[in-house]
Amino acid sequence: MRQKYAVAKTSEIPPGTHKLVEAGGRSIGVYNVDGTFYALRNVCPHQGAELCKGLVRPLIVSDEAGVYEQTRQGEIIRCPWHQWEFDIKTGCMIVDPDMRTRSYEVTVETFGVTVEEEHVFIHM
């Protein structure tokens, strides 16, 4: 049975930022990409680096030599050790989608008796 963990208030993770949290004995990076929350296990599958301490970058694509375009702003995390890049939304490696890090379902719920504060939950 999956469990639900409250890990942060939404105000703690504004768009374009992330927060490292502990949930279920695991280190997890929770990312806010344009108002949608995603969670990744903080382990690169290559050699175990703390993936979520890497840089968040756009994806750079090219249809022809010398012409580059930045797409998917804020959706790509780059491992700090060997620069392997992963999709924050799916956990899949960019150049080899079969290589992936664990991603988790995330929901934003409002709860409380008298104060309506938003909290981020991770389902694991």
Q: Does the predicted TM-score (pTM) go above 0.85?
A: no
Domain boundaries, the chain: 4-123
Which tens digit of pLDDT belongs to each residue from 109-118?
433 332 336 7
Q: How far apart are CA 89 and CA 18, in angstroms?
A: 13
Segment 47-76 shows an average pLDDT of 91
Name every residue whose Cβ is closer than 8 Å to that of residue 4 and which is 6 or more positions away in sequence: 121, 122, 123
The CATH code that applies to domain 4-123 is: 2.102.10.10
pLDDT bracket for residue 80 (50, 70, 90): very high
| CB atoms closer than 10 angstroms to residue 3 | 10
Which tens digit of pLDDT belongs to each residue from 1-46?
678 888 889 899 999 999 999 988 989 999 999 988 888 889 898 8
